[in-house]
Amino acid sequence: MKRLLLPSLIVLALAAGWSFAAEIKTLDTTDASNTGSVMGLTNSTAPSAVDDRWRAFQGALGRYIADQASGLTVSSTSSTAYSVTGNDATTALLDGRLLIVEMTPTNSAVSPTLNVNNTGAKELRFDVGTSLAAGAIAAGERIIVSYDSANNIWQVLSGAATASGYSDPLTTRGDILTRGASATQRVAIGASGSVAMSNGTDTVFASIVSDSISTGAVEVGKIADGTDGYLLTWSAAGVATTVTAGAATQVLTSNGSGAVPTWQAASAGVTGCGFVSRSSPSGVATVDFKDLTFDNYRFIVNLVPVTDNVVLRLRVDTDNGDSFDAGSNYNWGGYYVSEAASQTLRGGSSSDHIELADGLGSGATEGISIVLQMLGRNVVAISQYFTFIRAFTHESGVLRGGVGTGMWDRSLSGDTSNDVDAVQFSFSSGNIESGTIDMFGCVNS
């Protein structure tokens, strides 16, 4: 019966609530000092008549309540080892014992300890497996602790701020928290454009791989913007790359397995003859045709000069038009037949051009038409030869026609190793007023 008396009375005292709490707090923690009427036996019992054992009970209850309600101030010689003396001076720690402790100073290291009534230093922990981090307890902070006899620790039930190992693992803006193999862990912010995804075990930032995208799910509008005219392809290493835009009239040509395709002149992969390109000059001094790769070419020329009585000239280059040869390296000759059946012979050697026609008129109904053939362009062992048939209106208004031939002399130029890969048409003075030049290419096989 005695065993049940004290716990029963404590329960009754606590159940009385805050209305009774003030009176309970008047109980003195010294037995003999409990001489008031609170907790008396009867209304008629004089305080002096209360038995000392009842006063002892009141003292025990007062000490128990004081340890939980008043806040015990620790005394400490370091910021990690705290000690406190309770009103209840018992040295036997009971499982579940509660204390309110006012801590000072702030703990400076992980895993601080608390020694109550010289019962030995016991680690303060949030739970069985989580110690307090440095700075978890602020100076003057009150915490509620409960003794855990199974693990011999004081478990912090409230107050302390941070658990060891959980001192904000996030270091960079955009980091996220996730559960690792055994604890909370930081997942660093990924690179721009990467996404958070599961690898089956953890959360990771990674680029989207093709397996993550459903077939047919990518719209054209989702592809990154690029440069006008570029094409998408893959390198020999299987890496996506682009083919830059080619020049006008070029065609996309395969360079074989493992090589990126390139834009080349239309001769690549072509047999026989075919149309390559057209130029429609207007108000320009020259018309250049570059990137010549066919074995032979034919040019259909229809031009009107701005200036009267001019010569139509032809020049060549072996450096794709970077510098057309204007040296004395050309020979040419031919004849004209007029509408009056008169004949004229013309020719020149060591000239700075091939003359295609002279004395051209610039009137509204005048001009020149020529069929020019460029032969053996790819044969560097011989000079570059041309033949042409022409019809034009002389500046005097007379119709002329005839044939001619011309040569760019390699022996004179000194270039005996490079193909002619560009030709240029121009008048001896003034611009080309209007017209067209169509280019056709032919390969030998």
Question: Is there a domain that residue 341 lies in?
Answer: yes
pLDDT > 60? residue 322: yes
d(CA 100, CA 115): 14
Mean pLDDT, residues 393-404 taken together: 93
> Are both 437 and 367 inside the same structural domain?
yes
298 & 257 share domain: no
Q: For residue 20, what pLDDT band results from cuts at 50, 70 and 90? A: very low
d(CA 49, CA 105): 47
Q: What is the pLDDT of residue 329?
A: 96
State the greatest distance between any 2 C-alpha atoms of the chain, in Å, as a whole number.
Answer: 165
- Is the confidence at residue 45, as pLDDT, over 70? no
Judge contact between 89 and 61, C-beta under 8 A. Answer: no
Task: Note whether 375 and 301 are same-domain residues.
Answer: yes
pLDDT of residue 273: 82
For 71, half-sphere exposure in the C-beta direction (CA atoms, 13 angstrom radius) is: 9
Give yes or no for residue 302 having a pLDDT over 90: yes
In a domain, 143, yes or no: yes
Gap between the Cα atoms of 203 and 207, Å rounded: 13
Weakest-pLDDT range from 133-142, 249-258, 415-424? 249-258
CA distances from 41 to 24, 35, 48, 54, 217 (A): 15, 12, 12, 9, 86
Angle at 361 (CA atoms; ends 359, 364), nearest 5 degrees? 175
Q: The domain that contains 426 carries what CATH number?
A: 2.60.120
Q: What is the mean pLDDT of residues 239-264?
A: 81
User: Does residue 404 register a pLDDT over 80?
Assistant: yes
Q: How confident is the model at residue 12 (pLDDT cuts 50, 70, 90)?
A: very low
In a domain, 166, yes or no: no
Residue in the structure block whose two tokens are 């001619």 = 404
259 and 191 share one domain? no
CB contact at 8 A, 169 and 185: yes
Q: Which band of pLDDT confidence, cut at 50, 70 and 90, is reported for residue 402?
A: very high
Answer whether residue 121 shows pLDDT above 70: yes
pLDDT surpasses 70 at 135: yes
Do residues 23 and 56 share a domain? yes
Residues 151/124, Cβ–Cβ less than 8 Å: no
Looking at residue 308, its pLDDT comes to 94
Identify the pLDDT of residue 34.
Answer: 64
What pLDDT, in 10s, does the model give residues 56-102? Answer: 777 777 777 766 666 677 766 578 899 888 887 777 888 988 888 88
68 phi/psi in degrees, rounded to 5: -100, -25
Q: Do residue 54 and residue 80 come from a single domain?
A: no
For residue 211, is it within any domain?
no
Q: What is the average pLDDT across 187-212?
A: 82
Domain that holds residue 196: 176-206
The predicted pLDDT at position 427 comes to: 97
How many C-beta atoms lie closer than 10 Å to residue 295's C-beta?
18
Q: Is the pLDDT of residue 386 over 90?
A: yes
132 and 258 fall within a common domain: no
State how many domains the chain has: 5
Map tokens 């739970």 to a residue.
127
Same domain, 17 and 31: yes
Contact 152, 168 (CB under 8 A): no
Please check the confidence at residue 443 and state whether its pLDDT lies above 50. Answer: yes
Strands 98-102 and 72-73: parallel
Do residues 256 and 278 both lie within one domain? no
The pLDDT of residue 405 is 97
Residue 260 lies in a domain: yes
* Residue 291 placed within a domain: yes
Please indicate, yes or no, if residue 315 is contained in any of the structural domains.
yes
CA distance 344 to 179: 99
Provide the pLDDT for residue 15.
37
My answer on whether 356 and 244 are in the same domain is no
Residue 124, in any domain of the structure: yes
pLDDT surpasses 60 at 22:
no
- For residues 258 and 297, membership in a common domain is answered with no
